[in-house]
């Protein structure tokens, strides 16, 4: 066996104290925790006031949390010397800034471990605090401050953004206060097939003014680099993008376009149900039994589902539902075309048809037709930028829902924004280059 790659066992190197400018002297290990006694590797006894050499006056022990080993909380007990200048009698302590930040209770290695666990391993603050052997508040304040300093406040974080996604997000399910935030996402990696989307920012509120103010705060070079903005049907986002980013193309997300059709179909079905049967849908009512089948695309429907729909529409009283259902199916089919130019033509024909020729007695379809006509350019722009949708934005919303589950909810919006950015801001590769 080759032993040339090995070196003698060294507690200082094993625990990473050499990178902190410390040397391990002794250890005390119990079943609950471990403590390493250490001292500064290279003392500096020279007075910073007059430059004369000082003499040791006394020693104090400073205890800070360190990265855990074997999931056992590990603390550093640092012998902290105090010196007294022989010339000006100035008294000072050894500099520990290489090992721990001022007024901090966690070593820099411990902070790195905690930040990696939060971002890459999706650990909760409670689990991090348990691993470090500190209180929840101490861990939360330290890790979020380190995350903001190292990752969130990085000036290069916004570089290379060409495609934006914007959507609203419910961050708190309570009645008091504003529970909505505007979520801004970088979709460039998805469009260029270089990675996943990443969260750029979260802003309290959901309005045109909120999004426009955020865009206006960016520098001109960054704004000029934005080529596409993907959004939902909220016109406030569209007008804000048009005013601040006139060169960018606004794209209405396919999910929200199809959602307009499915909502109209459900509303029509419910209205016909009440008119024909005098009550809401019940389990034995034909319309209620087909409620899920109606929103299934024909290309994905089974033979049984197709037969069920065909039998339903043989009844003349359900003709309004059939008309809206056919529009919904055409809408879905346009987005599923293999050739974008064919899908664009089909969607354009559909918008012209329902935007001007809606039979009487179909208010739901008329409303959808008006919306599609007003946003026609945004809808058709998708077929020129295939893949540019708010789908990745919705995926980030799902990850944020998972984050709230890990944290058992949030009451502080500032903490929620910081945690969300660390969770979905694309920082995993920064902390782990091999990912």
Say whether 324 sits in a helix, a strand or coil.
helix
**pLDDT score recorded for residue 363:** 92
One DSSP character per residue, 48-94 reads TTT-PBEEEEEEEEEEEEEEEETTEEEEEEEEEEEEEETTT--EEE-
Q: Is 70 left (phi over 0), alpha (psi -120 to 50) or beta?
A: left
Q: Span 341-369, mean pLDDT?
A: 90
d(CA 428, CA 435): 7
CA distances in angstroms from 59 to 75, 81, 103, listed in the order given: 18, 4, 19
pLDDT above 90 (res 86) = no
φ, ψ for residue 36, nearest 5 deg: -115, 120
How do residues 294-308 score in pLDDT, each as one tens digit? 999 988 889 999 999
Least confidently predicted of 292-306, 350-364, 411-425: 350-364
**pLDDT score recorded for residue 222:** 94
- Using only C-alpha atoms, the chain has a radius of gyration, in whole angstroms, of 31
How many residues in the chain?
Answer: 435
**pLDDT score recorded for residue 435:** 55
Q: Span 193-214, mean pLDDT?
A: 91
Are the beta carbons of 125 and 136 closer than 8 angstroms?
A: yes
d(CA 209, CA 186): 20
Element (H, E) at 228: strand 228-231
- Confidence band for 434, pLDDT divided at 50, 70 and 90: low
Q: Span 213-240, mean pLDDT?
A: 92
CA distances in angstroms from 12 to 2, 16, 61, 98, 262, listed in the order given: 24, 6, 18, 15, 64
Q: Which residues pair with 368 in a beta bridge?
A: none
CA 51 to chain centre: 52
Which residues 6+ apart lie within 8 Å of 335 measured at CB? 254, 257, 258, 343, 347
By C-alpha distance, which of 422, 324, 333, 313 is closest to 369? 324
pLDDT above 60 (res 193) = yes
| % of the chain exceeding 90 in pLDDT | 64
How do residues 116-170 score in pLDDT, each as one tens digit? 999 999 999 999 999 999 999 999 999 999 999 999 998 889 999 999 999 888 8
How do residues 24-78 score in pLDDT, each as one tens digit? 999 999 988 999 999 999 988 888 888 888 888 889 899 999 999 988 999 999 9
Q: Span 3-27, mean pLDDT?
A: 89
For the entire predicted model, the pTM comes to 0.82
Scanning the structure block, which residue is given the tokens 């104290």? 17
CB half-sphere exposure, 103, CA atoms < 13 A: 2
| % of the chain exceeding 70 in pLDDT | 99
């Amino acid at each position: 066996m080759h032993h040339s790659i090995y070196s003698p066992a060294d507690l200082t190197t094993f625990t990473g104290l050499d990178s902190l400018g410390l040397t391990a002297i002794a250890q005390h290990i119990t079943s609950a925790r471990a403590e390493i006694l250490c001292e500064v590797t290279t003392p500096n006894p020279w007075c910073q006031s007059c430059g004369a050499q000082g003499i040791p006056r006394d020693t104090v022990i400073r205890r800070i949390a360190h990265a855990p080993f074997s999931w056992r909380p590990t603390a550093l007990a640092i012998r902290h010397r105090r010196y007294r200048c022989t010339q000006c009698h100035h008294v000072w302590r050894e500099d520990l800034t290489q090992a721990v930040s001022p007024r901090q209770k966690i070593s820099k290695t411990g902070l790195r471990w905690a930040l990696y666990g939060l971002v890459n391993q999706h650990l909760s603050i409670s689990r991090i605090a348990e691993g470090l052997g500190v209180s929840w508040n101490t861990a939360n304040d330290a890790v979020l401050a380190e995350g903001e300093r190292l990752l969130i406040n990085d000036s290069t974080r916004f570089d290379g953004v060409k495609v934006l996604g914007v959507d609203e997000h419910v961050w708190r399910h309570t009645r008091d206060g504003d529970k909505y935030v505007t979520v801004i996402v970088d979709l460039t990696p998805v469009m260029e097939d270089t990675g996943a989307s990443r969260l750029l920012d979260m802003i309290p509120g959901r309005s045109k003014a909120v999004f426009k103010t955020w865009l206006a705060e960016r520098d001109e070079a960054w704004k000029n680099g934005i080529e596409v903005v993907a959004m939902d049907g909220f016109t406030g986002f569209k007008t804000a993008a048009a005013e601040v980013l006139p060169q960018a193309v606004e794209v209405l997300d396919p999910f929200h376009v199809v959602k307009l059709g499915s909502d109209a179909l459900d509303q029509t079905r419910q209205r016909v149900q009440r008119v024909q049967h005098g009550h809401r849908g019940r389990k034995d009512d034909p319309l209620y039994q087909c409620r899920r089948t109606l929103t299934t695309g024909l290309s994905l429907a089974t033979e049984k589902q197709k037969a069920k729909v065909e039998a339903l529409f043989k009844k003349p009283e359900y003709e309004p539902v059939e008309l809206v259902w056919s529009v919904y199916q055409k809408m879905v089919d346009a987005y599923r075309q293999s050739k974008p130019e064919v899908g664009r033509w089909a969607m354009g024909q559909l918008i012209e048809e329902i935007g001007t020729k809606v039979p009487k007695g179909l208010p739901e379809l008329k409303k959808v037709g008006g919306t599609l006509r007003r946003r026609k350019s945004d809808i058709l722009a998708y077929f020129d930028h295939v893949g540019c949708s708010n789908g990745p934005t919705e995926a980030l919303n799902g990850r944020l829902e998972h984050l709230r589950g890990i944290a058992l909810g949030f009451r502080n919006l500032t903490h929620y924004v910081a945690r969300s950015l660390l969770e979905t801001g694309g920082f995993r590769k920064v902390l782990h280059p091999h990912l």
